[in-house]
Each structure stands twice: as C-alpha cells, then as structure tokens.
Amino acid sequence: MGLLLLLPFFGVVCLVAGQSGPPGTTPNIQYVFEGRCWDYDETRYNGLLPRVQADCDTLWKLFFQSFSYHAPCAVNQTSYSPFLQAARQTLPQDKVMFWSGVYSLAHRFSENGVNYITLEDTLIGYLANSLVWCGQENPPGMNYSRCPDWSDCPSEASESFWAGASRTFASAAKGNVTLMVDGSNPNKPAYRRNSFFSKYELPSLDVSLVPALHVIVVHTLDKPKIETCGSGTLLDLKNDVTARGILFTCDDDPASVMHLLCADQPDSRECKLAAAHVNCELPYNSTQPGFNGQPDFLG
Amino acid sequence: MGLLLLLPFFGVVCLVAGQSGPPGTTPNIQYVFEGRCWDYDETRYNGLLPRVQADCDTLWKLFFQSFSYHAPCAVNQTSYSPFLQAARQTLPQDKVMFWSGVYSLAHRFSENGVNYITLEDTLIGYLANSLVWCGQENPPGMNYSRCPDWSDCPSEASESFWAGASRTFASAAKGNVTLMVDGSNPNKPAYRRNSFFSKYELPSLDVSLVPALHVIVVHTLDKPKIETCGSGTLLDLKNDVTARGILFTCDDDPASVMHLLCADQPDSRECKLAAAHVNCELPYNSTQPGFNGQPDFLG
C-alpha cells in the first residue's frame, strides 16, 4: 500500500530545493511529527476514529528509537513494533479501504474517513504520511542529507515502517473491507503479488472478522480498460482472496467513483449527464436534505 | 466566509464530551497551533503557496497576544493585525476562491489548493480552522470552559479573527477570482449583504488586480433551484460586484461541481451518465494521461 507513497513528495521537495536524487530526512521532523500528533489528538477524525492513550512526546520517542542511530538499510519491521503498538486504533466496522496504484483517487473517495478509513487516516499513517526519514550511526542519529530509495535495500527504514503499518492496519480491520486498484495502467498490473496489499495486508486480515473483500477497479477516462473484474490479474486476486476464506466481490468503475473522475474532466465523453437535468426538465419533490444536511457542512 | 465555520465542530465536541452549549478554548491549543504551523511549513501546500518568514513560536505569540487576557467580547479586528501581517502569503493568480454556505463542497472542489486556494488553504486559515478560542482577564488568559457564540456579542474574539483573516485573504487576491454559493437553501439567500463575503471580502479586493469575479451557484440534487444566476439575490450580488468595477460572470451547476455532488448520490436522476460508457461502447484513442499523470498520484 505505501510502496510508492513517498515518491511524489520526493519530487516536490527536489523541485523546491533544486536538488537531484532522493532527499534526506524531512527538516524539523520531530516538530512536524509531534505537531501532527497534537492536531490529530484534538481536532482530526473526532468521532470517526478513537484517540490513543500514549502522549505525543512518547510516540515520537518510540518512533525515533525505531530507526535512529542505525544504518538506513538495517531497520527491520519489528523495530517499529513498540511504536505501532502504542499508536494503533480500533477501526470501525465495514469502513476499511485499502488501495494500490490510486493514492489520490482513493483518498478523494474515502473523504477523510467520512466514507472510508484508509491507512493514512489512522494516527499511524497520518503521522508519517509524506515524511522522509532514515537513520545514521553518528549523531544526531538521522541523516538529513540523503535517504536511500526503497529499491536500494531490502530493510530500508521507511519501507519497513510502511510494511509494519500496513500489517497493523489490516489486522485491525473488521466487517466487509474494500480495495481500490487501477485497471488501466499499461506498466503495472492491477494486482501484483509483490504489492503491499498482497504481501502485508491480505495476509493480516482476520478472516473470522472479515467476511468479504469488495474490489473497485478504476479505469482512466478515455483510455482502454486493460484489466477488469473478470480478467487479468483480478483473477489472481480473486484466487488469493478466496484461498483465505474471504468472499470476493468486484465492481468496475462504480458510478460514485466515475463522478469523481468526471469532476476533473467533465468534458470527457463518459461524463455526459442526463440532458433532462441540464435543461431543468426534472420535477423536484423529494425530501433530499440540502447542503445543510451534510455532516461537515459549515455555514 | 467564516461566519458559521465553528458550528459543526461545536457539534462534534459536544457530542464527544456530552456537554451542552458552546465549548471553551480547544484543549492544548498552543500545541495544536504550533504543530499545524510546523506541518504546514515543511509539508503542506509546498509548491502551491509560499512559506512565511516568521517562525511558529512567534506566530503563536502574536496570535495569543491578540485575544488573551481580554474579555472574549472585547477583541476587535485590529487586535489580530500583527499576527495577520506576519502570516500573510502572496496568492497565485486566478486561483482564489471564496465561498458562502457551501464549506464542504467548496473545499472538495478546491482540492487542497490544487484547483483553487481558499482561505482555509492559506497558513492563516489552516492554523485556525476548526479551533475554538477566547480570552479571559485572569490567568491563563484563555477560557477553557466556555466561549461565547459569535451571535452573543459584536466584537467576539474568533469572529473578529475570521473577519480580519477574510480581509487579509481577499486583499491578496489577484487575477480572476471565484465565489461559490448555495442557490437552494430555503432559509438563507445565496447572497447576503451581512455575509463575510459582502462585508469583508468584496470590499477588500484590489480592483486594479482583480478584473473579474466568477460566481458558481450550486443547487442540491433533487431539490428546487430557488435562486439562479439571473434571479433573486444573485442580482444584488451582480450589482455590488459591478459597482466595484469588477466584471461579473455566473454559472449554475457547472458539470465539474455536479459530478462532485453525484459522487455522493450517484443514484440521483441528475447523475445518470451516458449509457455508451456504461456499456463499453466508446472507442478509446486519445492521449489522455492515466492516473499516473495526476499531480498528486502516489503509486
């Protein structure tokens, strides 16, 4: 799930700083981490996800101890266990969503926990999302000038983190869960057995609590549908899910997701709405709530 | 703009804490405020909005000094001037969006600064959004048990803040600007001369830098369109905008906004997509980028 999470942020940092190659640890990472922790604690996802007992200073210390003063390629997943244990939350029934290859769309669809809960909505994911970090053996224990790419070494500090975070997240899921994948990327199959979902999340689901996995296959507007629910690697996914004793269901381009894509590209041919509305020919007689009925409507 | 900004958060806090009436200052407000500041500084809106010179501790002190050790109803807009001056940013051309009555939709449409910049995307708005605060004359200078409603007094601490913040935001706008309003609320006209937009934002626009205002009138799905671009209070708005020498343009329910509404209610009659796509009858031959082409696509 988090495999390519940092790449675009790398891009932004490089652009801003005019550097080339991967950046080092995010400047002021402790303040950013603890700041996010306070913000989350008091204002974010209130009523959607539980608060955690550990205070923000403790969480930072546990996180920092996991990788600091170690070479960046010598941090395994268990290093993060004390932090992950202290920051884990219970998750609401039927709302967990995994994603692969569709970070932006999945998060617009999940609506900050209103529709679904992603890893990045949980405290663990929220604290680390978009940050860069790695250790070094000398003080200050973190390397601010360069961190390796995930592909550089098997036990890279942040990859190990996201692997452990993904396991922790999946193991707390209950009820029917959802996975969103990309069915129109010519360079990357919708489902890969080396993906975070396949390696860490699917195996961590508690099958006694998770009866079904619903897959949403999304296709780029105006591009070929390379893989769909009944084809290609979706068949592998179905096999792997049912082999775990979990019911597999699948939808190609459900209308709610299509509309999100169409919001960005309303002129696409796929996005034409019924003419009756455009021409004001529909009668109105329902008891549909107005904008004031939306839970986060503010004024 | 910010007039009813705090109400839903009040609701959430009350629900969680089991209290009645408005809450007091957000617990740990200094940590939350400074934490947001560090997060914004290092990771948020990078490449979209400039960083500010003042450090986070200074910004908190300026903010705190504006209202602390004063009665909550004795804080006028100029109190916040040193803070607003220190935290103000330059804004990108043609991307400023105001809103009134449509907080949630406007922010989904603006996409965290990707499509538009709202007040809440700027550092000033980001730091204060959803927080509650008010002063008291005794130590610690803030009242943690109860803050007045905005309607309780004319110079209420947070209303004065949002008024000043709205002025600061609008005065930095350049290029064509956008305003989103609700045309289907039976209890509140789309444009009100006592709205934040009318009182603080429209008068603060620099007409030498802002040639045109584009209004988007949104209507709840499956509800009557009470006011549209050429009717009701939109005519007052047109008058007020053109009186300032700014070109007025207006659209009812543009397709991109319709699709956002439809993402939540895909079964509405207004949301039916062209059958050709659903039936896979469209040929694909364009050079449309895939999901990888999205600026914030992560994996």
pLDDT digits (tens, 9 = 90+) for B5-16: 333 333 333 334
d(CA A91, CA A21) in angstroms, rounded, equals 37
Q: Is the pLDDT of residue A165 over 70?
A: yes
Judged by DSSP in three states, A146 sits in: coil
Indicate if B120 belongs to the active site. yes
Q: Which of B221, B255, B296 sits opposite A271 (nearest CB)?
A: B255
Specify whether the CB–CB gap between B135 and B143 falls below 8 A. yes
* Min Cα separation B208/chain A (Å): 30
* Backbone dihedral angles phi then psi of residue A235, each to the nearest 5 degrees: -70, -40
Residue of chain B nearest A263, judged by CA positions: B256
pLDDT in tens, A34-86: 999 999 999 999 999 999 999 999 999 999 999 999 999 999 999 999 999 99
Q: What is the pLDDT of residues B133-151, one digit of tens each?
A: 999 999 999 999 999 988 8
| Closest alpha carbon within chain B to A287 | B223
pLDDT > 70 fraction of chain B, expressed in percent and rounded: 84
Give the minimum alpha-carbon distance from B16 to chain A in angstroms, rounded to a whole number. Answer: 7
Q: Which residue has the higher pLDDT, B152 or B64?
A: B64
User: In degrees to the nearest 10, what's the CA dihedral of B144, A113, B33, B143?
Assistant: -10
The beta strand positions in chain A, using DSSP E, are 97-100, 177-182, 212-218, 247-252
Q: How confident is the model at residue B251 (pLDDT cuts 50, 70, 90)?
A: very high
- Neighbouring-strand partners of residue B290: none
Pairwise CB contact (< 8 Å): B255 & A262: yes
Contact A284 B100 (CB under 8 A): no
The pLDDT tens digits of the residues spanning B70-86 come to: 999 999 999 999 999 99
The span from the CA of A33 to the CA of A53, in Å, is: 17
Cα–Cα distance measured from residue B293 to residue B299, given in angstroms and rounded to the nearest whole number: 11
Q: How far apart are CA B103 and CA A296, in angstroms?
A: 8
Catalytic residue among B10, B83, B109, B120: B120
- Closest approach of chain B CAs to the CA of A249, in angstroms? 19
pLDDT in tens, A253-298: 999 999 999 999 998 888 887 544 445 554 554 444 455 333 332 3
B297 contacts A103? CB cut-off 8 A: yes
Note if B201 is an active site residue: yes
Residue B2 has pLDDT above 60, yes or no: no
Contact B291 A105 (CB under 8 A): yes
Its pTM stands at 0.87
Looking at residue A269, its pLDDT comes to 82
Kindly report the average pLDDT of chain B as a whole number: 87
Residue corresponding to tokens 């509309």: A259
Query: Which segment of A6-20, B50-64, B172-186, B254-268 scores lowest on mean pLDDT?
Result: A6-20
Task: Assess contact for B216 and B237: CB atoms under 8 A.
Answer: no
pLDDT of A298:
30
Cβ neighbours around A90 below 10 Å, total = 9
Residues of A in contact with B230 (CB under 8 A): none
Nearest to B182 by CA among B269, B266, B95, B104: B104
CA–CA gap between residue B137 and residue B141 (Å, rounded): 6
From chain B, the residues in CB contact with A118 under 8 A are: none
Would you state the torsion angle of the CA atoms of residues A253, A257, A260, A264, taken in this order, to the nearest 10 degrees? -20
Q: What is the DSSP string of B19-81?
A: --S---SPTTHHHHHHHHHHHHHHTTTTTTS---SS-HHHHHHHHHHHHTTS-TT---GGGGH
**Cis amide linkage into residue A189, ω under 30° from 0:** no
Percent of all residues in chain B with a pLDDT value above 90, rounded to a whole number: 75
Tokens 């047109």, residue located: B238
Which value does ipTM take for this structure? 0.86
Query: What pLDDT is recorded for position A21?
Result: 66
